[in-house]
Amino acid sequence: MTFGQQNSETEAHAQLDLALARGVNFFDTAELYAVPPRAETYGATERIVGTWLRRQARDRVVLATKVVGAGRRFDWIRDGAPCLDRKNIRAALHASLERLQTDYVDLYQLHWPERNQPMFGQWQYDPTAERDGTPIRAQLEALKELVDEGKIRYVGVSNEHPWGIAEFLRCAREYDLPRVVSIQNAYNLLNRVFDYGLAEVCHRGQVSLLAYSPLAFGHLTGKYLRNPDAAGRLTEFPGFGARYQKPRVREAVAAYQALASEAGMAMTRMALSWIYHRWSVASTILGATSIDQLTENLDAWSDPLSPDLLEAIDAIHLGFTNPAP
């Protein structure tokens, strides 16, 4: 998501090469990227991934991308009225395939639900905000066409809630439609909302968690604790990442920093190792902006945390429960 905004094509390709060499084979992007969303950078990340992908053996890469939902003001996407109906899903995928320079994607995800629900830092459901939208059954029917055509292999969702997962699974079961295999949601030490309802429904429904924002937009590196004006996405793009600007975020980060220091490790490594070894996490979406950051993130895989440290992390969580929902 930083490729084409914070990272040049050359920098992006270097990161992708390193990741592949280190054993990473799952790469996730979206038609919306780079972020923050702008008309000038729409599709830029996919184009950069595409120029890299054409040099790879396609079967070595598990490629995922996403189609934008409705309800947000993106005037530059499909005449300013993107949604999750058949016309939009097909148009979005075909444009993504062209940018990615491939004839199929392994995982095609709905970036956010079309229906009314809290997301991107909102934390309460508002029943008065209901709006018309494409039924989930119709969304799956459009996706089934693309599966049958060989243009996508599997279907996933993102920024979903328990009701949505249950409805997707019900429609797939009752109408012989593609079953969602994954959910890509924010998940980190500051946001464990997944554990409170989604964990059970996903486990029983065999839907894998792809955890994004594992370092909470850089907060769990400790850099904003040391210097609130440190270089990074939050200072470069004021107003971005609203969920991480909530009142108790800084206190929670300080508590995790103290614990990491006591354990003799960097908070970055502690936060990533915690998430890498969660039973519910199938893969973690990293968003490094430099080779050094990516190397540190990958190295954290070799650091399983002790039972005592995991217990201490849970104790902090109970004191600062989901400060960034």
Model pLDDT for residues 273-290, shown as the tens digit of each residue: 999 999 999 999 999 999
- Calculate mean pLDDT across residues 48-75: 95
Nearest to 181 by CA among 107, 261, 256: 107
Kindly state the percentage of the chain with pLDDT values over 70: 100
Tell me the CB-side half-sphere exposure of residue 249, using CA atoms within 13 A.
23
Of residues 237 and 39, more confidently modeled = 39
Q: How far apart are CA 248 and CA 243, in angstroms?
A: 11
Residue 237: pLDDT band (50, 70, 90) is confident
> Does residue 109 surpass a pLDDT of 80?
yes
Q: Please state the φ and ψ torsions of residue 321, each to the nearest 5 degrees.
A: -75, 115
Global pTM reads: 0.96
Percentage of the chain beyond pLDDT 90 is 89
pLDDT value of residue 138: 99
Sheet holding 105-110, edge to edge: 26-28, 62-67, 105-110, 152-158, 180-186, 208-212, 281-284
pLDDT digits (tens, 9 = 90+) for 134-183: 999 999 999 999 999 999 999 999 999 999 999 999 999 999 999 999 99
- Minimal CA–CA distance to 284: which of 240, 274, 293? 274
Answer whether residue 239 shows pLDDT above 80.
Answer: no
What is the pLDDT at residue 234? Answer: 78
- 186-192: average pLDDT: 98
Out of 29-43, 63-77, 231-245, least confident range: 231-245
Note the pLDDT of residue 285.
Answer: 98
Query: Is pLDDT at 32 greater than 90 in this prediction?
Result: yes
State the pLDDT at residue 41.
96
pLDDT for the residue 43:
97
What are the extents of the domains in the chain? 9-186
In Å, what is the CA distance from 197 to each residue of 46, 86, 120, 191, 274?
Answer: 32, 30, 18, 13, 20
Please give the average per-residue pLDDT across 297-308, as a whole number. Answer: 92
33: annotated active-site residue: yes
Residue 199 has pLDDT above 90, yes or no: yes
Per CATH, the homologous superfamily of domain 9-186 is NADP-dependent oxidoreductase domain (3.20.20.100)
Between residues 232 and 213, which one has the greater pLDDT?
Answer: 213
What pLDDT does residue 233 have? 76
Banded model confidence at residue 102, pLDDT cuts 50, 70, 90 = very high
Name the residue with tokens 């309800």. 71
Compute how many other C-beta atoms are within 10 angstroms of the C-beta atom of residue 222: 21
What is the reported pLDDT for 304? 86
